[in-house]
Amino acid sequence: MTQMWKPGLSLIAVSALLAACYAETSQPDTVDEQTQRAVAESAAPVIPQSASAAASTAAQPGYAGRWMGVEGTFMTITPQTGNAYQVVITDLDGPKTYAGTLQADGLHIERNGTPRVIVPGDGEATGMKWLAEKSDCLVVAANEGYCRD
């Protein structure tokens, strides 16, 4: 015979626990008021994040740090204020610095007058056979990516 879960019993237990915790931090008039407040607080609805807040959180896969490319190339991403980032790409011609803005679809930069969106992916997504086995990468453009070891 299976037992049925009885939500009333667990609500009473939670209420009693909350009432005991609440009693240590404040001094309401009576124990009944403590219990009523605890029940009211435990029954309060959970308000979900707004869509934009959820997208903002989801859009942050951890861009900051140093990302290694091939043949001595690398990319360093440093958070600034708000959703601004500094992106330094060091290729065979030397380092170049770009201002980046984190948006829902990736980290936006403008390089040589061309907008780019840096997005997370794996080694295969970079299109570079030397990075194919990597799992934590950022893709800048076709056949250009950087990974963490």
Fold of the domain spanning 52-147 = Lipocalin (2.40.128)
* 49-68 tens-digit pLDDT: 333 333 333 334 589 999 99
pLDDT score recorded for residue 132 = 94
pLDDT at 47: 37
pLDDT at 38: 43
Kindly report the pTM of this predicted structure: 0.59
pLDDT of residue 33: 52
pLDDT tops 60 at residue 72: yes
Distance of alpha carbon 133 from alpha carbon 75, whole angstroms: 19
In the chain, domain spans: 7-42, 52-147
Residue for token pair 């299976």: 2
Give the model's pLDDT for residue 149.
74
For residue 63, what are the contacts with CB-CB under 8 A and spacing of at least 6? 77, 79, 85, 102, 107, 118, 120, 138
CA nearest 63: which of 2, 109, 23?
Answer: 109
pLDDT of residue 62: 87
**Please, what sign has the CA dihedral across residues 22, 23, 27, 31?**
positive
Give the separation between CA 122 and CA 129, rounded to whole angstroms: 12
